[in-house]
Amino acid sequence: MDLLLLVIIIGTVVFIVQKSILSFFRYPRHLHKKSRTFISFEDLVALFIVYIIIIFGFGTIYFSLTISGITVLMEGSSPISGSFFQLSEAVSYFSAVTLLSVGYGDITPIGLGRWISIIEALVGYLLPAVFVLSTVIDSD
C-alpha cells in the first residue's frame, strides 16, 4: 500500500474517531431536558455507537498497517495473517479487547502497534469519564 494512501486512511480514521468523541459535548441534549431522565436510552445508544466507531476505526488502522507490510500485531509467535475477512476479524477483535481493557493476550501488539494500542486503551479509559461529564453538564 502506498505511504500516502496509508496516511490518508489513518488521518481519516483519527478525524472520525475524534468527531464521534466530541459529539458527546456538542449533542444538543438540552433541547429535550424536560422529557428526559438523567441518562436516557438515546445517550446509551450514542455511547454504544461511539464505541463501535472507535473499535472499527482503530481496527482499520491496524488493518491498513498490516496489509502495508508493517507488522503491528502478533498471534502467538507469528504475525497475524489470513484472508481479508480473517484479518478483519482479528484486528476488530484486538481493537475491541484493547478498547474495553479486557486484554486476553492471545493477540499482542509489537512495534508501532504498541503505541497505537496505548492510545486506544487511553481512549477506552477516558470515554466513560467523557460520557459521565457530558451527562452531568447537561443535567444542570
Mean pLDDT of the chain: 84
**In sequence order, which residues have a C-beta less than 8 Å from that of residue 83 and are 6 or more positions away?**
none
Question: Using one digit for the tens of pLDDT, what is the confidence trace for 35-66?
Answer: 545 667 777 888 888 899 999 999 999 999 99
Taken in order of first residue, the domains within the chain and their CATH numbers are: 3-27+37-139 (1.10.287.70)
**What is the per-residue burial (b if ≥16 Cβ within 10 Å, else e) of 57-94?**
bbbbbbbbbbeeeebbbbeeeeebeeeeeebbebbbbb
Tell me the whole-structure pTM to 2 decimals: 0.82
The band of 133, judged by pLDDT with boundaries at 50, 70 and 90, is: confident
Question: Using one digit for the tens of pLDDT, what is the confidence trace for 3-38?
Answer: 888 888 888 888 888 888 777 666 555 555 555 456
